[in-house]
Structure 1
Amino acid sequence: MGLDAFVYCRCWQDGLTPPAPVGPVGFDEEGYLSLVVSGGGYTETDAAFDGWTASACPHELMEQASEHLSNWTGHRLFQQALGAAGWSHFPALQAELPSANGGRMPAEAAVRVLDELDYFEQQAVIDDEVVLVDEATEAVALRYVAAYEGVLMLGPGYRAGVDPEGFFILDPDSDPPATLFRSARFRQRVLPSGQVQFSDEKKSVQIAMSPVGDKGTPPEWLRLEKQHQAPAEFGYIVEPLRRLCRAAVATGNPVMWC
């Protein structure tokens, strides 16, 4: 699960494709190329249309560009970094980045986003990030995601995560949610019962939940710290965004979030 996007090519718009075997076809109100009239359910007409889009031009599914941007946590972390650097530098990104699957970004906005991505990579100054690390390896086990109020693990009877005050486990069934455990440095042990024991010098609790970190060999000692982060760390989403925006500018077609 995550955020993907694509940009249609111009082959159909420019008359470079064979006629659709069924039709008429056109862009619907959401921006998708589709049958103007479609019956209920998936019909032979729909199958013929899908076959046409798969083979009518050199672009797979008539897409000039198609990208997986990130899982939703990675997307939220990118938005968090933009906010830390100052949303005033990124008005187009703030307006156009989606908060859920679906929607589109017009090509004229993509022009502005390209400039803002250049600014982010070359000039942005980002605050240090809050992380929970494995003391033995220094590997990051959890990152603070403000959009999720720090919660990154959830299951029956618990919500867990990390925020600027430390690692926490909440009981979501109480009102308000009660804090079962909170610590900036603690030990975790997977017990024979399958529960996980979390302890520090003040408190020890046992909870039926997944351990924090590597599921193969979960870290024993974890601590909260702040780490420097740089724009280059967000290449996983900046580069596919840049490719999508360039395709939108070249075709005049919107970026379709999906």
Structure 2
Amino acid sequence: MTPPVATTFDGQFLEPVDRTSMSLEEVIAFDRWKLDACEHPEMDLVVERIGNWAEYGMVKDFIGASTADLPVLRAELPSSNGGTTPWTRSLIALGELDQLVASQPFFEILELVDLGTGRVVRETGHFGSEFINEQGDVLIHFDETHLCVSVGGATVFRSTRFQQRLSADVESAFDLIDVYGASVTLGSPICGPLIGRDDEDGLEVPPTEFEVRPARFGVENIEWRLGALSRLFRASVDSRNPVVWC
């Protein structure tokens, strides 16, 4: 489509030769032309959200862990807002995304599983975080293949399989009890579902049983984030416009 005013292309953007001398009607006509001329559903822009900084960091971590040669992805994905990637580099990045998936990088993690439902209620995360939560001076965390409770830096409970139930000795408290009978009392449950008494029937909710299991956190777990990147790079190539990181 032919633009309604004289334009110039600086290698990245198509703009009027002199927008400051244009009338309001000409500005409106040109901006409408840009919207109608672009094939993308987001008009002159293709907008993709990859995630928050932690989620975006996952993508960079997998790129770093990959055995594939990914020089453009490693160089072009920014560490802060700002910067652009020209469409020629986007074209190479598309191929590197395929190489990243094919190389199947992964991280070993731990999961805390509710055995009653099979639900994963906590996990270490791909970056190896061992922290679960903190209750005053009590720290609940993963240690190697176990869940641990530490008080003042000393470990007082360590287990791979245990129950969490309402304490019989301390009101509004909760006990963790392992298969050998070792226990520790906490002021609140380590994670849901919350345990308490059924006021209507006067019955206690059954104890919840947990198990710590090793698991694999692979590149397939960030598939939708890689899809967002792929769509950005593809739009850049199709439109010959740069990716603008913000």
TM-score range, shorter chain: 0.5 to 0.7
**Matches of 1:185 and 1:95, distance apart in 2:** 44
Supply the RMSD in Å over aligned alpha carbons. 4.4
For 1:32, the equivalent position in structure 2 comes to: none
148 and 129 in structure 1: CA distance in 2 versus 1, 3 angstrom threshold: closer
129 and 166 in structure 1: CA distance in 2 versus 1, 3 angstrom threshold: same
73 and 14 in structure 1: CA distance in 2 versus 1, 3 angstrom threshold: closer
For 1:115, the equivalent position in structure 2 comes to: 95
For 1:38, the equivalent position in structure 2 comes to: none
User: Which residue type is aligned with residue 235 of structure 2?
Assistant: A
For 1:199, the equivalent position in structure 2 comes to: 177
Percent identity at matched positions?
Answer: 23
For 1:37, the equivalent position in structure 2 comes to: none
User: Which of the numbers 179, 185, 188 marks the counterpart of 2:164?
Assistant: 188
For 2:106, the equivalent position in structure 1 comes to: 126
Q: Do the aligned partners of 1:129 and 1:226 also contact (CA within 8 Å) in 2?
A: yes
The answer to whether the aligner puts 1:69 opposite 2:50 as a matched pair is yes
- Give how far 1:151 is off: 2.4
- Give how far 1:119 is off: 1.4
Deviation string 1:223-256 (CA, Å, 9 cap, x unpaired) is 1222345543321211111112223444432331
Deviation string 1:145-168 (CA, Å, 9 cap, x unpaired) is 253632254565455444642223
Q: Do the aligned partners of 1:190 and 1:211 also contact (CA within 8 Å) in 2?
A: no
Higher-Rg member (1/2): 2
1:227 counterpart SS class: strand
User: Which of the numbers 214, 234, 245 marks the counterpart of 2:233?
Assistant: 245
Instruction: Give the TM-score normalised by structure 1.
Output: 0.58
User: Which of the numbers 110, 119, 135 marks the counterpart of 1:139?
Assistant: 119
Relative to structure 2, which stretch is displaced further, 226-235 or 189-198?
Answer: 189-198
For 1:254, the equivalent position in structure 2 comes to: 243
- Give how far 1:117 is off: 1.5
For 2:213, the equivalent position in structure 1 comes to: 225
Structure 2 unmatched runs, 5+: 1-9, 22-27, 196-204
**Matches of 1:89 and 1:114, distance apart in 2:** 13
**Matches of 2:174 and 2:95, distance apart in 1:** 48
Q: Do the aligned partners of 1:158 and 1:170 also contact (CA within 8 Å) in 2?
A: yes
For 2:14, the equivalent position in structure 1 comes to: 14
- Give how far 1:20 is off: 7.8
Q: Do the aligned partners of 1:132 and 1:162 also contact (CA within 8 Å) in 2?
A: no
156 and 61 in structure 1: CA distance in 2 versus 1, 3 angstrom threshold: farther
94 and 134 in structure 1: CA distance in 2 versus 1, 3 angstrom threshold: farther
1:122 counterpart SS class: helix
- Give how far 1:124 is off: 2.0
User: Which residue type is aligned with residue 197 of structure 1?
Assistant: D
